[in-house]
Structure 1
Amino acid sequence: MRILLVEDEQKMTSYLHKGLTEASFNVDVASNGKDGLFLALHEDFDIVVLDVMLPQLDGFEVLRRLRQQKSTPVLLLTARDTVEDKVKGLELGADDYLSKPFAYAEFLARVKSLLRRSPRGARDVINIADLEIELFKRRARRGNVRIDLTAQEFALLQLLAERQGEVLTRTFITSQLWDMNFDSDTNVVDVAVKRLRAKIDAPFERKLLHTVRGMGYVLEERT
């Protein structure tokens, strides 16, 4: 799942980014309304977490312009806890509203609730051949065999599964899962793929995780 976080408070951004990343979400960040609106309009996100008090464009204006073109679920965050602000946000098209300060557990629960309700988030299970991936329960199995994965391994599997049939480059995988600039000398992606392959492919006759030489990796069923 891909989330856009539009928040200008650096401490809050770091806090939410860390939590969402640890929950295996892919998180993009914008620190002002103008950049947030650009990303929301030109990229595909499963949910936008949008602060109201933003520089350049406030959250209400970002929401108003976004709703003219897209229906991406939006969770509004604000320090203003007035009924008028809540009504305004909901009337502009917000899907939920959370006032600061808030507990991270409630924030994460609201994010997951919106994802379940959204068209893109409604898919909780991905099947590729005999591989079944339960996204919200964070479980994987092949046939009747349960596969135990670390959080990082599951995040990699989910990324590949949600883009099944699409060759993902090492650069893209790194940017989505490790949030770092890709260094061509590092083999972090190759090591991660090797570990994942040892669990989801090696014990089984049918192979699903393939290497495309000179390009990257793809998860798909091949005849």
Structure 2
Amino acid sequence: MYKILIVEDQEKIRNELGELLRRYGYEVVIIEEFENVLEDIKKAEAHLILLDINLPVYDGYYICKEIRQTLDTPIIIVTSRDSDMDELMSMNLGADDFVTKPYNTQILLARISVLLKRAYAGYQEVVQFNNFKINFSKGILINDGQEVELTKNEMKILACLTKDKGCIVSREDLVSYLWDSEWFVDDNTLTVNINRLRKKFESIGVENVIQTKRGQGYFIE
């Protein structure tokens, strides 16, 4: 089940949107307090974010820009602001799509579906690797009855590292695979993702899975 995060300050709109998405089989997380919105977005680990522009504390432009510093989660801007400049700014800051209110619900659902398929296509549903399993369709790691959720980037890292057991994947190749271009990526961003992934393995009792080959890259034993 894909998890969709709604970042919208109008209670009526976010509740109606949440109900719609649940009817179509999505898991829904709604942000209702905005003082720590960036931290809450990261904690949600959603597969897709629906983001308004006119928000308290931080506007949607700033939030979109900050999300893109560390996350590659698909973002759809859903807003009543409908100028070409608003759409252009949204895309330049890293949004994947732009939908104006009032929106046609079927068109919004179609755009969500397209982005999810584009972002998460190509994964085998379940991969058994050594003493753990990766369920790419659900985005979870499994070991001895224990489960932990994965972000999109973490799934892509594992997909890349598990293609050939024991083969070293360079940092450059991982960055290219994750973000298509090294130009927009701080080198520390990959390190952060790798370290978070290692901690998730440890949380389900799997130790020393992702190994570092100094000066060459990473591999899975």
TM-score (norm 2): 0.56
Q: Answer yes or no: is 1:165 the counterpart of 2:164.
A: no
Residue segments in structure 1 that go unaligned for 5+ positions in a row: 130-157, 173-223
Instruction: Give runs of aligned pairs for residues 66-145 of structure 1, distance below 5 A.
Output: 66-118=67-119, 121-123=120-122, 126=125
TM-score (norm 1): 0.56
Q: For residue 93 of structure 1, report the CA deviation from its aligned partner.
A: 0.4
Q: Which amino acid aligns with 2:86?
A: D
Given that 1:3 and 1:48 are in contact with CA atoms closer than 8 Å, whether structure 2 keeps it comes out as yes
Given that 2:91 and 2:97 are in contact with CA atoms closer than 8 Å, whether structure 1 keeps it comes out as yes
- Other-structure match for 2:196: none
**Separation in structure 2 between the aligned mates of residue 55 and residue 122 of structure 1, nearest angstrom:** 35
Q: Which amino acid aligns with 1:114?
A: L
Instruction: Give runs of aligned pairs for residues 4-83 of structure 1, distance below 5 A.
Output: 4-83=5-84
Which deviations, in whole Å up to 9, do the C-alpha atoms of 1:186-222 show, x marking residues without a partner? xxxxxxxxxxxxxxxxxxxxxxxxxxxxxxxxxxxxx
Q: For residue 106 of structure 1, report the CA deviation from its aligned partner.
A: 0.8
**Separation in structure 1 between the aligned mates of residue 97 and residue 138 of structure 2, nearest angstrom:** 28
Q: CA RMSD in A?
A: 2.7
Give me the identity figure in percent.
27
**Separation in structure 1 between the aligned mates of residue 48 and residue 32 of structure 2, nearest angstrom:** 16
* Counterpart secondary structure, 2:142: coil
Instruction: Give runs of aligned pairs for residues 129-208 of structure 1, distance below 5 A.
Output: 162-163=139-140, 165=142, 167=145
Which deviations, in whole Å up to 9, do the C-alpha atoms of 1:97-146 show, x marking residues without a partner? 0000001111111111110111xx215773589xxxxxxxxxxxxxxxxx
Q: For residue 159 of structure 1, report the CA deviation from its aligned partner.
A: 11
Query: Are residues 163 and 17 of structure 1, via their aligned partners in 2, closer, same or farther at CA, if it must alter by over 3 Å?
Result: same
Given that 1:51 and 1:78 are in contact with CA atoms closer than 8 Å, whether structure 2 keeps it comes out as yes
**Separation in structure 2 between the aligned mates of residue 6 and residue 35 of structure 1, nearest angstrom:** 12
Q: For residue 33 of structure 1, report the CA deviation from its aligned partner.
A: 4.6
Q: For residue 23 of structure 1, report the CA deviation from its aligned partner.
A: 1.2
* Counterpart secondary structure, 2:125: strand
Which deviations, in whole Å up to 9, do the C-alpha atoms of 1:52-71 show, x marking residues without a partner? 11111111010011111111
* Counterpart secondary structure, 1:56: coil
**Separation in structure 2 between the aligned mates of residue 107 and residue 76 of structure 1, nearest angstrom:** 11
**Separation in structure 1 between the aligned mates of residue 106 and residue 115 of structure 2, nearest angstrom:** 14
**Separation in structure 1 between the aligned mates of residue 98 and residue 27 of structure 2, nearest angstrom:** 21
More divergent stretch after superposition (36-45 vs 95-104)? 36-45
Given that 1:49 and 1:77 are in contact with CA atoms closer than 8 Å, whether structure 2 keeps it comes out as yes
**Separation in structure 2 between the aligned mates of residue 124 and residue 103 of structure 1, nearest angstrom:** 30
How many residues align structurally?
Answer: 140
